[in-house]
Amino acid sequence: MATHKISVTVNGAAREAEVDSRLLLVHLIRENFRLTGTHVGCDTSHCGACTVQLDGTPVKSCTVLAVQADGCKVTTVEGLEQGGKLHPVQEGFTEKHGLQCGFCTPGMLMTTSALLAQNKNPSEQEIRQAISGNLCRCTGYVNIVKAVQYAAEKMRSA
């Protein structure tokens, strides 16, 4: 079966890869690029642990082909920190105890950082709707919401 040469910008760096048609984006990220912050959870596009941003939009990378990302910008959890400084959502999750086991956290961070890029002051309802495709099996949603509110506040006052 055919392979395809693709170029993607991953967390700001241009990367190339030779991929099989059926390679999934999450595997390209984890196995080819060795960025293992993005998790594989349910592998059936339910849980959202594999969420990354594709040209700024959060998507479930277990349900996107690597070749579909050709020419696109991919941002993973490793790309949130800038110049040694945590992204406000990362800080919020730390400050507000937004994680317990941490498995869903990379996906939560990618979804909520995308939300805050669009909506500076989301209501609790809007935050809950935004993360409705990201499951936390520790059920720590209350603190996740607080973490996002903390980040929103921090970004507004910055």
Partner 1 sequence: MIPASFDYHRPASLDEALKLLKKHGDDAKVLSGGMSLLPMMKLRLASFSHLVDIGRIPGLDAIKEEKGVVRIGALARQAALERSEVVRAKLPILADALPLIADPLVRNRGTIGGNVANGDPGNDQPAIMIALGATFVARGSKERSIAAGDFYKGLYSTALAPGEILTEVRIPVPPARSGGAYVKLKRKTGDFAVAASAVQLTLGKSGAIERCTIALTNAGQTPVEAKEAGQFLAGKTPGDLTLREAAQIAAKASSPSADRRGSVEYKKEMARVLTARALKIALERAGRN
Burial class of residue 40, CB neighbours in 10 A (0-12, 13-18, 19+): middle
Least gap, CB of 96 to partner 1 (angstroms): 22
Q: Which of 10, 49, 64, 127 binds partner 1 (CB under 8 A)?
A: 64
- Does the protein bind partner 1 through residue 7 (CB under 8 A)? no
Kindly state the DSSP code that residue 129 receives in the 8-state scheme. Answer: H
Q: Which is nearer to partner 1, 70 or 95 (CB)?
A: 70
* Token pair 């961070």: residue: 109
Per-residue string for binding with partner 1, 38-57, x by CB under 8 A? -----xxxx-x--x-----x
Give the distance from CA 146 to its chain's centroid. 18
Q: Which phi and psi angles does 139 have, rounded to 5°?
A: 60, 40
Per-residue string for binding with partner 1, 76-115, x by CB under 8 A? -----------------------------------x----
Residue type, 131: I
Least gap, CB of 83 to partner 1 (angstroms): 28
- Does the protein bind partner 1 through residue 73 (CB under 8 A)? no
Rounded CA-CA distance 155/60 in Å is: 25
